[in-house]
Amino acid sequence: MSASVMITGTSWVEAEARTLFVPRLNNAYEQYLFEESAKASGVEYWQVKKFAETTGLPHMAAMEAAFDEAVSNAGLQRKIKKKNGNRVGMIYFDEYGPISFMERKAQIKEMYYSDVFPSFVLQAHNISGYSVRLRAERNAPMQAMQLAKNLIESGDLDVVFVGGINPCYSFFFLSEQLETVQWEKQQGIKTNKENNTRNLNEAAAFVVLESADHAEKRGITHATEILEINSGREYYSSKQADKNPLPNRWNLIAQRYPVAKAHMGLYPSELMTKTESMLLGDSLGDAEQVNWYERKGDSNSLNVLRVLHEHIRISESNPSVQLIHSADRNGFGWNLLFK
């Protein structure tokens, strides 16, 4: 019996054309956030891909499309029956919690998307195993995959769907920009105001985690193995991140795995990217570094799933070890190693 956990399917559904975000005249708080954010950060232009505005595809349909794509990609169509549905679970995350603070009508959407959608999916696909909804912070996918991995390794489940949606609501991205600037000020860091444009993406995505034994029994001959998911503090002080990296953390990773590629830039902050590059370069000097925000823009909590979706089978004949690194402003980081 193998305790290995594999990724046997992925999906990615993203809005297409970008539109320029303009604060609404009838929403005073949105205008206030926009003006304060622009003044503090220099960001005046928010290029946003939104489902409803660019494709006519509402969030509900995007999530359904992403889930169906993941099922198909994993080869699980019509294979989840009532008799084995208790061995399949779902960990779902979204950001609908506080949107009613911005718009009264959003309260109905919040209940519908957050509660009704998972229920529809579970019933339609005979999924009756452990399922839970998480609040979609930036590192929610890492937390969700760690939980899914534990559930599979403990023998409680055979398959877990992990995924959700990133809705680009002004309250979220404007508030986050202000919080980042305030954090930089507290750390004594001068905010770089040269880049006046941010690119954001609405998207829906899922990955399918599965035990190696279960995948083998149903005829899966190639899948991506999750080697490790870990988390912890990576430097003592944000002010001195470039001087006092925690010893051994990255050296231990380098000793255990020959990392060929390191994916970073999942938190779109110049300081965070600089710190990530330094930490990765010191211990994983031979690994290629890929800055995802520069390449693809920001999909918030789904950035991790995007990397997996686009690189999951980068070299099927000779798979290389890859690392996805995601950190927050306080120096706490997550690492996902896979091949």
Q: What CATH number has the domain bearing residue 263?
A: 3.40.47.10
**How sure is the predictor about 247, in pLDDT bands with cuts at 50, 70 and 90?**
very low
Which range among 42-51, 139-148, 314-323 shows the weakest confidence by mean pLDDT? 314-323
| Same-domain check for residues 232 and 133 | no
- pLDDT at residue 190, rounded to an integer: 76
Is the pLDDT at 100 greater than 60, yes or no?
Answer: no
- pLDDT at residue 292, rounded to an integer: 85
pLDDT in tens, 114-135: 556 677 788 889 999 999 888 7
**How sure is the predictor about 249, in pLDDT bands with cuts at 50, 70 and 90?**
low
Is the pLDDT at 319 greater than 90, yes or no?
Answer: no
- pLDDT at residue 245, rounded to an integer: 52
| Same-domain check for residues 233 and 181 | no
Is the pLDDT at 108 greater than 70, yes or no?
Answer: no
| Same-domain check for residues 309 and 213 | no
| Same-domain check for residues 234 and 210 | no
**What pTM does this model have?**
0.88
| Same-domain check for residues 230 and 208 | no
- pLDDT at residue 318, rounded to an integer: 59
Is the pLDDT at 99 greater than 50, yes or no?
Answer: no
| Same-domain check for residues 78 and 174 | yes
pLDDT in tens, 252-285: 788 889 999 999 888 877 777 777 787 777 778 7
Half-sphere exposure of 104 (CA within 13 A, CB side): 0
**How sure is the predictor about 313, in pLDDT bands with cuts at 50, 70 and 90?**
low
Parent domain of 308:
226-338
- pLDDT at residue 74, rounded to an integer: 94
